[in-house]
Amino acid sequence: MSAIEDQIKNEIAQNKVLIYGKGTKAAPQCGFTVETIQFFAKYGYPFEVINVLNDMDKRETLNRMTNWPTLPKVFIDGKFYGDTDILDEMEAKGEVEPLLKAAFSE
């Protein structure tokens, strides 16, 4: 399983904003993945979507790594932030913009 974990860790390290979801950025397959793409699109920072719809091993590894049962899964600057349920509540408290600014400021 650690090969998949290493792959995931690399993907997280290479993308400041990363969404593991169902489908791709161009062809999302799930309403929540669409919602998450729209969430980040409005901030204008670059983000990546990695499709794990049919990759059960990777999905189970992600579930274990994050202790979070569902997709999409969002990572910002290497840290896990759940999905738009979490991000919407953070946004309501004005916590997302500074987080993204910091992620892209280095």
Partner 1 sequence: MISVPDLISLVQEKLPNAEVNVLDKTGMMDHFIIHVTASQFETMNLMDRHRTVQEALNPAMQDGRLHAVEIKTATP
At how many degrees (to 10) do helices 96-105 and 84-92 cross? 100
**Least distance in angstroms from the C-beta of 12 to partner 1:** 16
Q: Which is nearer to partner 1, 3 or 56 (CB)?
A: 56
Interface ranges with partner 1 (CB under 8 A): 31-32, 67-70, 80-82, 85-86, 88-90
**Least distance in angstroms from the C-beta of 89 to partner 1:** 6
**Least distance in angstroms from the C-beta of 83 to partner 1:** 9
Q: Residue 28: CB partners within 8 Å, gap ≥ 6?
A: 21, 22, 34, 37, 49
Q: Would you call the peptide bond into 69 cis, given omega within 30 degrees of 0 as the criterion?
A: no
